[in-house]
């Protein structure tokens, strides 16, 4: 069976990030273990069970360039028309986040089976609630955009953490990130196994209200890094962020520490024998990196076929979104701990 795909938003993540990603190199190799294809369209071209039937963009020039580059037969400037006429099985949501919720809800209510939605998911918890309700009501599967859960290195880290060799998982620490853009909370949650948060606390270096807004309800998140964060979960694990600007993470277990280095290039694992406070390195087999985008598309297809959620699923995405907006709520209350569900569900944050 071939699944028909519609692309809503034909810019960077749909198409042109391929060009940008090829340019970033370190020591003769890419600065991250990035394996092409990276953009959504590139991923669909190599997943044999999918076929791109149409694209949609408000810019006719961008739409035309996308169709020509990826040999997509039909184009639309209204996502509703694409969904109504093409009846796609899968949608890629690659617009700005301000446009995500409306397109995702309409697609869920009009026969779409699965969606690959870029981060951030949306701009408010009210929008997130509406997306979740539409997806659950119509049996739609979500593949969320952040690449971490599809990364070979992160999957190796999670496999080691759950093997029992280092004991139970206790805590995870990130050294940089933003609250609502998806990457940080999604990565840390994945390493913990997606437990339910019971307390959220955090501060930012600086918030950026939308120009003219004095209500503390509308913000631009692009330049609002987390200064500190602490999240407690119902299973006793914890999540921390110390905003020092390093794109690495550490996972703490009873008898060991797993460090994810150089934006998921490799792992550094240390273990204690329990008789001292010292940790000694243990050998970790290097992973073979793969295309995270291809992996995400294949897993979305598998979810649709088997009716079983994948790793980057709706529930995990909602947990991360709740935490992200919870950090805003905490900061605006002076950094105190807040308990989910977060009360101000109309607070609007545009991130990227």
**pLDDT averaged over every residue in the chain:** 95
Per-residue pLDDT band at 197 (split at 50, 70, 90): very high
280, 304: one domain: no
189, 328: one domain: yes
343, 199: one domain: yes
- Please check the confidence at residue 24 and state whether its pLDDT lies above 70: no
Question: CA distances (Å), 336 to each of 85, 121, 199, 329, in order?
Answer: 50, 26, 10, 9
Predicted pLDDT at 102: 99
> Which residues lie closer than 8 Å to 351 by C-beta, 6 or more apart?
97, 120, 123, 178, 179, 180, 181, 182, 220, 221, 222
* pLDDT (tens digit per residue) in 307-342: 999 999 999 999 999 999 999 999 999 999 999 999
- Considering its fold, how many domains does the chain have in total? 2
Backbone angles phi, psi at 73, to 5 degrees: -70, -35
CATH, residue 323: 3.30.360.10
203, 342: one domain: yes
Query: CB neighbours (10 Å) of residue 11?
Result: 18
Threshold 0.85, pTM exceeds: yes
Predicted pLDDT at 282: 97
Q: How many residues does the chain have?
A: 352
CATH, residue 129: 3.40.50.720
Secondary structure element (H or E) that encloses residue 54, with its range:
strand 50-56
Nearest to 315 by CA among 174, 190, 168: 190
Residue 233 belongs to domain spanning: 152-287+319-350
7, 94: one domain: yes
* pLDDT (tens digit per residue) in 199-226: 999 999 989 999 999 999 999 987 789 9
67, 107: one domain: yes
303, 262: one domain: no
- Please check the confidence at residue 109 and state whether its pLDDT lies above 70: yes
Question: CA distances (Å), 72 to each of 44, 62, 183, 266, in order?
Answer: 11, 13, 30, 37
* pLDDT (tens digit per residue) in 158-191: 999 999 999 999 999 999 998 888 888 999 999 9
113, 201: one domain: no
Q: How much of the chain exceeds pLDDT 90, in percent? A: 88
33, 128: one domain: yes
**Helices 152-162, 183-192: crossing angle, 10 deg rounding:** 30
71, 123: one domain: yes
Q: Bridge-partner residues for 7, per DSSP? A: 55, 92
Nearest to 296 by CA among 311, 315, 317: 311
Per-residue pLDDT band at 276 (split at 50, 70, 90): confident
Per-residue pLDDT band at 104 (split at 50, 70, 90): very high
């Amino acid at each position: 069976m071939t699944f028909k795909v519609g692309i809503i938003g034909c810019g960077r993540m749909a198409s042109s990030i391929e060009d940008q990603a090829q340019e970033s190199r370190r020591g003769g190799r890419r600065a991250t273990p990035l394996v092409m294809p990276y953009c959504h369209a590139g991923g669909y071209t190599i997943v044999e069970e999918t076929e791109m039937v149409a694209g949609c963009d408000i810019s006719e020039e961008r739409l035309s360039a996308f169709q020509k580059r990826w040999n997509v037969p039909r184009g639309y400037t209204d996502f509703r028309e694409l969904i109504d006429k093409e009846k796609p099985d899968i949608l890629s949501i690659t617009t700005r986040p301000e446009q995500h919720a409306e397109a995702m809800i309409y697609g869920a209510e009009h026969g779409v089976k699965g969606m690959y939605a870029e981060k951030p998911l949306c701009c408010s918890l009210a929008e997130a609630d509406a997306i979740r309700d539409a997806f659950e009501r119509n049996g739609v599967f979500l593949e969320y955009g952040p690449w971490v859960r599809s990364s070979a290195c992160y999957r190796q880290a999670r496999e080691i953490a759950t093997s029992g060799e280092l004991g139970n998982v206790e805590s995870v620490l990130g050294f940089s990130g933003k609250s609502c853009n998806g990457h940080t909370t999604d990565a840390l949650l994945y390493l913990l196994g997606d437990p339910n948060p019971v307390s959220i606390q955090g501060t930012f270096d600086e918030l950026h209200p939308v120009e003219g807004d004095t209500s503390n309800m509308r913000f631009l998140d692009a330049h609002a890094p987390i200064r500190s964060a602490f999240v407690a979960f119902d299973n006793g694990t914890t999540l921390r962020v110390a905003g020092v600007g390093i794109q690495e993470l550490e996972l703490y277990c009873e008898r060991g520490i797993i460090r994810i280095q150089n934006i998921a290039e490799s792992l550094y694992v240390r273990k204690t024998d329990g008789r001292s406070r010292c940790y000694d390195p243990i050998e970790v087999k290097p992973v073979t990196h793969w295309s995270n985008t291809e992996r995400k598309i294949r897993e979305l297809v598998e979810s649709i076929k088997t009716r079983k959620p994948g790793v980057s699923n709706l529930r995990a995405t909602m947990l991360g979104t709740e935490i992200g907006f919870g950090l805003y709520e905490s900061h605006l209350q002076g950094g105190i701990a807040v308990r989910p569900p977060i009360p101000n569900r109309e607070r609007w944050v545009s991130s990227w």
